[in-house]
Structure formats: C-alpha cells, structure tokens
Amino acid sequence: MMLVPHTCVNAAVGRLFKSPVAAFATGVIAHAALDLMPHKDISAHKAEGLLVATMLGIIGTSCGFRSAPFWCAMGGVLPDVEQVLPWTDPKRGRHRWFPTHNRKRHSLQIPGAPDYTVRLLTQSAASMTALMLAVYKCRPSGAS
C-alpha cells in the first residue's frame, strides 16, 4: 500500500480513540490490514516521504501532536520505515521484520478475482477523504 493511505486512513481511525498509546497500537495493526489488501504500490520514496511529512504536519497542527489521530497515523507510517533501510533490504540478502512485508503476506489475491488490485487513484481518493474526516473540527485538546 502507498504510504499516503497508511497515514490518512489511520488518522481517521485515530478519531475513534482517546488514548494516543492505544491509537498507536491500533495504527500498527491497521498498517498490516491495509498491506494484506490486494493493491498497487509505487516506489517514489522521496515524493511519498514529502507528502506524508506534510500530512503528518496537517494532522498534528489540527488535532495536536500528542493526539490519538496523530499517533494512529504514526503507527501506520513507522512499519514502512524498514522499506528504505539498507539493513532490512532483501536485495542485500537481509530480511524485513514486519509480518506483511514478507512477499507471501503482502497484497493477497481475492479468491475468484486474482487480478483485482486497489488502484493508485482509489488509494489517493480514499486518502484525501480520510484526511478530511481526520481533521474535520479536530482541535488539540485544551485549545479553544
């Protein structure tokens, strides 16, 4: 899955939580759940990194950098950090640790629809909708 939906969908899910710790744990699980879906990926790490950093900024400034939405989003982002680390790079004979980064548990096929994948456009549309839901009337606690 693109890193953008991991960020935005998780931020929206984070609205359901009060505790940033519970939101973070759920965010990591949500990362695995999205990775299991059949999907297209892009390898444009710098472009995605820029978008995700900006979105984390939007979520943090809207909801607060200690808020559940922000930390649920962080739980979605952090597992993919190993995708760019040299010491977890399969091309260098290393292996990745996060369960859904193993090829057998990544982007599973739907029985009866082996060619179905969630397209980049769909991922982007879902991400933008989720981002709006995540920050809609979200205020850092204590702010008026």
By the rule CB under 5 A, 80 interacts with Zn ion:
yes
Comparison of 58 and 82: residue with beta carbon closer to Zn ion:
82
What type of residue sits at position 87? W
What type of residue sits at position 88? T
Shortest Å distance, C-beta 7 to Zn ion:
12
Shortest Å distance, C-beta 133 to Zn ion:
22
Shortest Å distance, C-beta 79 to Zn ion:
5
Shortest Å distance, C-beta 53 to Zn ion:
17
Cα R_g (the chain), whole angstroms: 15
Window contacting Zn ion (CB under 5 A); options: 10-18, 19-27, 35-43, 120-128: 35-43
> Could you give the CA distance from residue 106 to residue 100 in angstroms, rounded to a whole number?
5
Cα 42 to chain centroid distance, Å, stands at 14
The interface with Zn ion within residues 85-144 (CB under 5 A) comprises none
> Could you give the CA distance from residue 116 to residue 79 in angstroms, rounded to a whole number?
25
Comparison of 65 and 78: residue with beta carbon closer to Zn ion:
78
Shortest Å distance, C-beta 101 to Zn ion:
6
By the rule CB under 5 A, 48 interacts with Zn ion:
no
> Could you give the CA distance from residue 54 to residue 25 in angstroms, rounded to a whole number?
22
> Could you give the CA distance from residue 5 to residue 91 in angstroms, rounded to a whole number?
26
Comparison of 35 and 48: residue with beta carbon closer to Zn ion:
35
By the rule CB under 5 A, 35 interacts with Zn ion:
yes
Comparison of 13 and 63: residue with beta carbon closer to Zn ion:
13
Which of helix, strand or coil describes residue 118? strand
> Could you give the CA distance from residue 39 to residue 73 in angstroms, rounded to a whole number?
19
For binding to Zn ion (CB under 5 A), which residues are involved?
35, 80
